[in-house]
Structure 1
C-alpha cells in the first residue's frame, strides 16, 4: 500500500485573485507567481522521469504504489497551477521563460534514465525545502487571499508527503552519490537563476522593479530573522552528504497537522494504487 493520498483541492480560481494577492507585498507575490509559472512544465518533467525508470529496478511493490500516487499528486498540482497561471496571463504576467524551459526539458528527455531521475531528485529537494518553509512559517502567507493561502499550503503538504519518492526510485535503480550531487549542484544554479529572472520580469511588468519598498521586502524575505536563505542553508547542504535521505528531515507531523486542520479544503480521492 502507498503512504500517499491523492487529493482534489476545493479551490476555484475562475473568479480570479488580486494582483498583489500576498497581503499587498509586491516582491513576495512576484516570487511566488514565478514559482507557479514553472510548475506545470516542471512537474510534467518529474512525472516523465519517474515513469521512465525501468520497472524491474523497482521490485518493492510499496514503492511502485507510491510512484503511481506521486504521479497522481503531481498531476493535480500541474492542473491547479495551470489555472493559476492562466489568471496571471490575464493580468498581463506572461511566463517569459517558457520557450527556453521547453527546449531544456527536451534536452533532458534525451538523457539516460538515471540522469533524469537525479535531476528530478534535485528539484524535488528544492520543492521540499520550500514546502517545509511554508508549513513551518505560516506567517509567510499572512494577509494572502484565502484561496491562494489554501492552494500554496496544500501544495506544500503534498510536496512534503512525497518528497522521498523520486529519491527512492533513483536509489532502487542503482543511482550513485556522484551523479546525484553533480546534478544537484547544476540544478541549484538553474533554480535560482530561473526563479530570479522570472521574478524580476514580474516586477518590471508591475513597474515595481526599482522601488525601494520592493527590495526592502526582498531583503526581509530572504535574510530577515526567519528568512528563506537561513531556512534553506542547512537542508540544502545536507543533500551533499553521501548518506543523505529526504526523511532525515522528518516533518510528517507538521504536514499532518495542516491536513487535519484543513480537511475542509480538499477531498481525498484516495490512493490511486489501491
Structure 2
C-alpha cells in the first residue's frame, strides 16, 4: 500500500462544499444510567437481536475514536475561509457527537464485560489501524474510510428509526440509547464526506475504501455476534437463527431496506444528504429530528 496516492486532477480543484450552512449539529449528553446493567437478552428476550447490537456497540469506542482522529487530522488541511467556515464548525460538532457516542458505548461495553462477553472487535480494528499507520497511509485515506463507515452507519440508523418494530420490544433505556445514536448519525452523516470532497478526494479511492469498509463490517459484525452468542449459550438454538433470518430477510429486513441506499454510495454523483422519500414527510432527517424533539427529556444539550 503506497502512502496517500490520492493525487489526481481533483486534488488541485477548489473545495466543493454545499452552499449556505447545511449542517445543524448539536452535541447532546444522554441522560440514562447504565450502572445498574441490563438483561442479557435486553431486546425483548431475543438472543440474536441483543447480541448483534451488543456486537455493534463493541466496535464503537475504537471506531469513533478513529473517526475523530481522521476528521481532526484532515481538518488541519482545509483552509479557513468564509467558504469553509460552516464545514469547520460542523467538524467541531461532529467530534463532540462522536466523543459522546464513544463514552456511552464504553459504559455499555463495560456492562457486557460483566456479563461474560469478550470484545474481540476492538482488537481487530486497533490492529488494522496500527498496521496502516506504520505503513504510512495518509490522512485522506483514513478520512475516506471514515466517510464510508459514516454512510454505512447512517443507512443502518435509518432502518432503526424508520421501523418502530426494530427496537419495539427492547428495554426502554436501550431503545433510547440506540435511537439517540441513530438520530445523531443521521445528523452528521455528511461531514466526513464533505471534508473528503473538499480536500480533493477522488471517486476511485472513495469507492475502493467503501468496498473495503463494507466487507470488513460484514465479517467483523458476523464473527463478533457469533462469539457473543456462543458465550451466551444461544448460538446453536433454532430461535436464534430464525431471528437472524427475520432481521435480515423479513418484511422490514435489513437486506430489503438497506441494499439500495448502500449501493448508492458507488454513484459518482452520490451525496449523503440525497434521500429517497418513501412517503410525504418521511425523509430520514425529518424522522430523526422528530424523535429528538419528542425525547428531549432523555438528553442534555452540551453545545
Deviations 1:84-111 (A, max 9, x none): 0000000001102332221111123441
Structure 2 residue aligned with 1:83: 107
- SS in structure 1 of the partner of residue 297 of structure 2: coil
Decide which of 246, 264, 274 is 2:297's aligned counterpart.
264
Query: Whose RCO is larger (CA < 8 A, sep 6+)?
Result: 1
Query: 1:89-238 residue pairs with structure 2 within 5 A?
Result: 89-109=113-133, 110-238=136-264
Deviations 1:6-55 (A, max 9, x none): 00101110010011000000001110000000000000000000011153
- SS in structure 2 of the partner of residue 267 of structure 1: strand
- Structure 1 residue runs of 4 or more that deviate by more than 4 Å after TM superposition: none
Matched length:
270
Contact persistence 1:31–1:199 (CA under 8 A): yes
Consecutive unaligned residues of structure 2, counting only runs of 5 or more, are 1-20, 276-282
Q: Report the TM-score, using the length of structure 2 for normalisation.
A: 0.87
1:70 aligns with 2:91: no
Deviation of the 1:162 alpha carbon: 0.2
Q: CA RMSD in A?
A: 1.2
Deviation of the 1:259 alpha carbon: 0.7
Structure 2 residue aligned with 1:57: 78
CA distance in 2 between counterparts of 1:211 and 1:146 reads 26
Q: Which stretch of structure 1 is more off in the superposition, 33-42 or 99-108? A: 99-108
Contact persistence 1:58–1:169 (CA under 8 A): no
CA distance in 2 between counterparts of 1:68 and 1:108 reads 25
CA distance in 1 between counterparts of 2:36 and 2:239 reads 29
CA distance in 1 between counterparts of 2:124 and 2:146 reads 18
Q: Report the TM-score, using the length of structure 1 for normalisation.
A: 0.96
CA distance in 2 between counterparts of 1:232 and 1:56 reads 33
- SS in structure 2 of the partner of residue 248 of structure 1: coil
CA distance in 2 between counterparts of 1:218 and 1:172 reads 40
1:251 aligns with 2:284: yes
Deviations 1:89-134 (A, max 9, x none): 0000110233222111112344111111110011111110111111
Contact persistence 2:226–2:235 (CA under 8 A): yes
Q: Which stretch of structure 1 is more off in the superposition, 147-156 or 89-98? A: 89-98
- SS in structure 1 of the partner of residue 74 of structure 2: coil
Contact persistence 2:48–2:240 (CA under 8 A): yes
The higher radius of gyration belongs to: 2
The verdict on how the C-alpha distance between 1:247 and 1:58 changes in structure 2, with shifts beyond 3 A counting, is farther
